[in-house]
A = this chain, B = another copy of it.
Amino acid sequence: MSPNFDFLVTGCAGFIGSNFVDRLVNDGFKVCGIDNLSTGKLEFLKTAMTNKNFYFIQADLFDLENLKKIFPKVDIVVHLAANADVRFGTSHPKKDLEQNTLVTFNILEAMRSSGVKKIIFSSTGSVYGESPVIPTPENGPFPIQTSLYGASKVACEGLISSYCEGFGFQSWIFRFVSILGERYTHGHIFDFYRQLMLHPKQLSILGNGKQRKSYLYVQDCLDGILNALDKTNEKVNIFNLGFDGYVEVNDSIGFILKELNLQPKLNYSGGDKGWIGDNPFIFLDTKKIQALGWKPKIDIKEGIIKTLNYLKKNEWVFEERL
Residues of A within 8 A of B (CB): 89-90, 93-94, 97, 101-102, 105, 108-109, 128-129, 138-148, 150-152, 154-155, 157-159, 161-163, 165-167, 236, 238, 276-277
Do A158 and B162 have beta carbons less than 8 Å apart?
no
User: Measured between C-beta atoms, what is the minimum distance from A112 to chain B in Å?
Assistant: 8
Cβ–Cβ contact A161 & B142, under 8 A: no
> A154-B155, A155-B155 are contacts. A161–B141 as well, Cβ < 8 Å?
no
Query: Shortest Cβ distance from A32 into chain B, in angstroms?
Result: 24
Interfacial chain B residues near A109, Cβ < 8 Å: 93-94
- Chain A contact residues, majority secondary structure: helix
> In chain B, what residue has the closest Cβ to A165?
B146
Contact A162 B145 (CB under 8 A): yes
Which residue of A140, A142, A150 has the most chain B CB atoms within 10 A of its CB atom?
A142
Contact A157 B145 (CB under 8 A): yes
Give the residue name and chain of the B residue nearest to A136 (CB).
Answer: B142
Q: Which chain B residue shows the least CB distance to A166?
A: B90
- Cβ–Cβ < 8 Å partners of A150 in chain B: 158, 162
Complex CA distance for A188 and B45, rounded to whole angstroms? 55
Residues of B near A102 (CB, < 8 A) are 97
Residues of B within 8 A of A97 (CB): 101-102, 105, 159
With both chains docked as a complex, state the minimum distance between the C-beta of A276 and any C-beta of chain B, in angstroms: 5
Contacts of A159 in B (CB 8 A): 97, 145, 148, 151, 155
- Whether B162 pairs with A277 at a CB distance below 8 angstroms is yes
> In the complex, what residues of B have CB within 8 A of residue A165's CB?
145-147, 276-277
Please tell me if the beta carbons of B129 and A166 are within 8 angstroms of each other in the complex: no
Q: Is the CB of A154 within 8 A of B158?
A: yes
B89 near A162 with CB under 8 A, answer yes
Taking CB as reference atom, which chain B residue is nearest A64?
Answer: B94
Query: A141 to B139, Cβ gap below 8 A?
Result: yes
Other-chain residue from B145, B157, B158 in contact with A161 (beta carbon distance below 8 A): B145
CB atoms of A90 and B146 under 8 A apart: no
Could you list 18 A-B pairs, sorted by A, with CB under 8 Å? Answer: A89-B166, A90-B166, A90-B167, A93-B166, A97-B102, A97-B159, A101-B101, A139-B141, A141-B141, A142-B143, A145-B159, A145-B165, A146-B165, A147-B162, A148-B166, A151-B162, A162-B277, A165-B276
